[in-house]
């Protein structure tokens, strides 16, 4: 194999790192985000380099606040960025829709990461549709290298046309690492020039201005298309976008079947065509909204069929169907509406190969299904027995486990309903805890517990959410519950971090994302200020105290709050280890089958019995929290003295 040209520095960049470097290269000055998989590493990368490049970056309390922070920076004239996952844009949609009318001054880019699959999200929503709804341009990178280039272009487009621009990578861009020809930009040596917010009625939305700006936004659509067209972001593929020397694709340009791809689908289609030994051109769309259909219609002249390959919703396909209809062109279009491709999940070679083969055969481009001899042969797993699943679980020593256990013990006999929320503690829904009955979205737990209490007042309703989620969207529903005389208990699982997304700081920690000390609010005081009369803070590792608090809290007539505190085990040192006292153990199975700590396992070395198996504690896994020892009714779990 020939080594490729190494004259330009080649670095392995994760898609999210590439987006961060694109923003830095574009001179971004303010970045405000809320973490969410798969978007989080964009802001984390910015934070690592913020001081070097004179960038102000923050973790905001939620996505709405993050976008509004970025808008202020933009209206002052600074380039600004906000990053979130796709469901985060639901939270930020209120400012976004009006921002589309009012426009920007400094370039403003929203990075909204989609998660087809989904791998770690509650929906598979397609942010390109959100862009259509808001009438804003969206860029859809296929690779980390293209994400680097498109991020820089997004700032330029935003500032030129005074509209915010959405960059929509998917998981297979965000979390894919690729070799990219890239050198970090030089660090500024002088302080950057100050920005200045110019007072002007154009920044104050009033109905009269709305009507005017709506017409302006509609008129901008043509300018957006024109801008994209000049830069050929939508193009017949001749080389890897963002890569070095162009290697013209010797394609069969006269093929009767046209193929149009969007986003990461390009990679799968090129791989599939290579596998089939076909050299067909592919028209790739990196800027799907608003789609510039004129060059596409020109390309489709003389074609007999079109296959549109895009994950999730038929955003490109529908715009082309409308354009063809208006042009009186009866070209058949295959994609989502024809049933060729699914709207759900990710694409893959396995999914695309048979579908592409079928259309290629119909077009006379492929002789038979096995033309390239690619019937996939694999080491079969058909003979395997069903394998035990290995789903994520709460860590050994996690304070959420003991709190869920305590509340279940204290209230389940009363048919209590546990409303859950988004965070590590969603894992409380898994066996053996089974301690989460509902999960909807960020901040839903308190509102839903209150809502349930109005229709089912005789059952205890207990809401669980984490500290970061409390600051994100847990405070308004708590005020609402008090105001509307709900009878419910809110448990704030305060583990002193945003654990699920990788331990970002939040307002409850006294430190900013830029590692500066800041005011540390007291959650108990906030709760009291919301009007809650019954509040108690407990140590999440104290099972008896948590159970006592649980009983009192659900007996309280009104809204009660239990704050269960213990640092996430990932951010503090281990406390030691515990062991089973085999003499005292009665094999009741509570620790193994009810408590469900991953450090407690059946002892394989012991002889099989008819009862529960003997158990042991794996010393390397045990955190030393000692909550299992409190759960054991026979005092058979003891601290290992070192």
Partner 1 sequence: MSETKNILLVGVGGQGTILASKILAHVALGQGWDVKMSEIHGMAQRGGSVVTQVRIGTKVYSPIIEPGEADVLVAFEQLEAYRWIHTLRPDGTVIINDQKIAPLPVVAGAATYPETILDDIRAKVATAIVVPALSLATEAGNSKATNVVLMGVLASVMPDVPAESWQEALEANVPVRFLEVNRKAFAAGFACER
Which chain residues interact with partner 1 by CB under 8 A?
A: 1-4, 6, 10-12, 37-38, 119-120, 171-172, 175-179, 266-268, 270-271, 274, 348-350, 376-381, 383-385, 387-395, 424, 427, 430-432, 500, 570, 589, 592-593, 596, 598, 600-602, 612-613, 620
Inter-CA distances, 201 with 134, 204, 206, 209, 370, Å: 22, 5, 9, 9, 66
**148 versus 527: smaller Cβ distance to partner 1:** 148
Least distance between partner 1 and beta carbon 557 (Å): 38
For residues 456 and 640, give the distance between their C-alpha atoms in angstroms, rounded to a whole number.
47
* Cα maximum dimension of the chain: 86
Distance (Å, whole) CA 179 – CA 351: 26
Nearer to partner 1, 142 or 547 (CB): 142
Our CB check for partner 1 shows the closer of 183 and 484 to be 183
395 is in an annotated binding site: no
**3-class DSSP state for residue 73?**
helix
DSSP 469-503: HIIIIIHHHHHHHHHTT--EEEEEEE-SSBTTTT-
Closer residue to partner 1 (CB): 44 or 467:
44
Query: For residue 457, how many other CB atoms are within 10 A of its CB?
Result: 10
**Residue 341 or 427 with smaller CB distance to partner 1:** 427
CA distances from residue 630 to 393, 494, 548 in whole angstroms, order as listed: 21, 21, 14
Assigned token pair, 631: 């759960």
- Least separation in angstroms between residue 500's CB and partner 1 is 8
- Which residue, 467, 476, 473, is CA-closest to 505? 467
Phi-psi region of 245 (alpha: psi -120 to 50; beta: other; left: phi over 0): beta
398 is in an annotated binding site: no
- Which C-beta is closer to partner 1: that of 37 or that of 419? 37
The least CB distance from residue 374 to partner 1, in Å, is 10
Q: How far is the CB of 530 from partner 1 (least distance, A)?
A: 32
Cβ 401 to partner 1 shortest distance, Å: 12
Q: For partner 1, which is the closer residue by CB, 415 or 574?
A: 574
d(CA 128, CA 124) in angstroms, rounded, equals 12
Query: Does the annotation place 439 within a ligand binding site?
Result: no
Q: Is 588 annotated as a binding residue?
A: yes
- Going by C-alpha positions, the residue among 180, 228, 134 that lies closest to residue 16 is 180
Helices 127-134, 93-102: crossing angle, 10 deg rounding:
40
Q: Which is nearer to partner 1, 426 or 453 (CB)?
A: 426
| Comparison of 62 and 261: residue with beta carbon closer to partner 1 | 261
Structure tokens at 552: 């009192």
Q: Tell me whether residue 1 or residue 298 sits nearer to partner 1 (CB atom).
A: 1
622 marked ligand binding residue:
yes
The answer to the question of whether 441 is labelled as a binding residue is no
- Give DSSP secondary structure letters for 3-66: PPP-SS-EEEEEHHHHHHHHHHHTT--EEEE---TTTHHHHHHHHHHTTTTT-EEEE-SSHHHH
Residue 391 CA from chain centroid, whole number: 19
Minimal distance, residue 535 CB to partner 1, in Å: 30
- Is 177 annotated among the ligand-binding residues? no
Supply the minimum distance, in Å, between the C-beta of residue 270 and partner 1.
4
CB of 197 to partner 1, least distance (A): 38
Strands 234-236 and 283-285: antiparallel
Q: How far is the CB of 171 from partner 1 (least distance, A)?
A: 7
| Cβ count near 214 (within 10 Å) | 13
- Cα–Cα distances (Å) from 315 to 80, 219, 332, in that order, read 27, 21, 17
Provide the minimum distance between the beta carbon of 314 and partner 1 in the complex, in angstroms, as a whole number: 22
Binding residues: 585, 588, 591, 597, 622, 625, 628, 632
Indicate the annotated binding residues for [4Fe-4S] cluster.
585, 588, 591, 597, 622, 625, 628, 632
């Amino acid at each position: 194999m020939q080594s490729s040209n190494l004259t330009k520095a080649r670095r392995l960049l994760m898609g999210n790192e590439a987006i961060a470097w694109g923003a830095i290269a574009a001179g971004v000055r303010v970045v405000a985000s809320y973490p969410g998989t798969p978007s989080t590493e964009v802001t984390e990368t910015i934070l690592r380099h913020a001081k070097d490049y004179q960038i102000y970056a923050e973790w905001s309390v939620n996505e709405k606040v993050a976008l509004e922070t970025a808008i202020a920076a933009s209206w002052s004239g600074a380039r600004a960025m906000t990053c979130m996952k796709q469901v985060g844009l639901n939270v930020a949609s209120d400012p976004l829709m009006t921002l589309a009318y009012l426009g920007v001054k400094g370039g403003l880019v929203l990075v909204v990461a989609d998660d087809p699959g989904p791998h770690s999200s509650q929906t598979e929503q397609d942010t390109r549709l959100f862009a259509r709804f808001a009438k804003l341009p969206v860029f859809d990178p296929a690779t980390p290298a293209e994400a680097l280039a498109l991020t820089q272009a997004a700032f330029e487009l935003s500032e030129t046309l005074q509209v915010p621009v959405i960059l929509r990578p998917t998981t297979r861009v965000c979390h894919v690492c690729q070799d990219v020809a890239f050198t970090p930009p030089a660090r500024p040596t002088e302080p950057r020039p100050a920005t200045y917010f110019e007072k002007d009625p154009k920044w104050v939305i009033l109905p009269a201005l709305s009507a005017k700006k709506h017409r302006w936004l509609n008129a901008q659509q043509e300018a957006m298309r024109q801008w994209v067209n000049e830069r050929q972001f939508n193009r017949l593929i001749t080389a890897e976008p963002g890569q070095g020397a162009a290697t013209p694709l010797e394609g069969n340009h006269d093929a009767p079947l046209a193929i149009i791809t969007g986003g990461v689908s390009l990679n799968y289609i090129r791989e599939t065509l290579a596998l089939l030994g076909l050299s067909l051109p592919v028209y790739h769309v990196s800027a799907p909204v608003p789609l510039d259909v004129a060059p596409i219609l020109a390309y489709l002249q003389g074609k007999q069929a079109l296959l549109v390959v895009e994950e999730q919703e038929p955003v490109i396909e529908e715009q082309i169907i409308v354009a063809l209809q208006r042009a009186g062109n009866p070209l058949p279009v295959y994609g989502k509406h024809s049933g060729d491709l699914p709207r759900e999940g990710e694409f893959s070679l396995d999914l695309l190969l048979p579908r592409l083969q079928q259309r290629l055969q119909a077009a006379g481009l492929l002789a038979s299904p096995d033309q390239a001899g690619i019937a996939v042969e694999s080491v079969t797993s058909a003979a395997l027995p069903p394998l035990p699943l290995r789903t994520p679980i709460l860590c050994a020593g996690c304070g959420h486990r003991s709190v869920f256990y305590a509340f279940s013990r204290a209230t389940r006999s009363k048919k209590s309903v546990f409303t859950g929320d988004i965070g590590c503690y969603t894992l409380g829904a898994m066996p053996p805890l089974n301690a989460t009955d509902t999960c909807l979205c960020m901040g839903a737990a308190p509102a839903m517990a209150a809502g349930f209490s109005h229709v089912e007042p005789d059952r205890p309703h207990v809401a669980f959410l984490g500290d970061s989620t409390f600051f994100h969207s847990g405070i308004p529903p708590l005020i609402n519950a008090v105001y509307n005389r709900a009878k419910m208990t809110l448990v704030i699982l305060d583990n002193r971090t945003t654990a699920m997304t990788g331990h970002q700081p939040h307002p409850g920690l006294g430190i900013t994302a830029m590692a500066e000390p800041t005011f540390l609010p007291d959650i108990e005081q906030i709760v009291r200020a919301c009007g809650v009369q019954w509040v108690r803070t407990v140590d999440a590792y104290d099972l008896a105290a948590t159970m006592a608090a649980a009983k009192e809290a659900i007996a309280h007539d009104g809204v009660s709050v239990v704050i269960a505190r213990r640092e996430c085990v990932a951010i503090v040192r281990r406390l030691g280890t515990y062991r089973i006292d085999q003499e005292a153990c009665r094999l009741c199975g509570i620790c193994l089958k009810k408590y469900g700590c991953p450090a407690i396992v059946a002892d394989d070395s012991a002889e099989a019995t008819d009862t529960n198996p003997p158990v042991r504690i794996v010393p390397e896994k045990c955190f030393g929290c000692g909550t299992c020892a409190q759960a054991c009714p026979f005092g058979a779990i003891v601290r290992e003295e070192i």
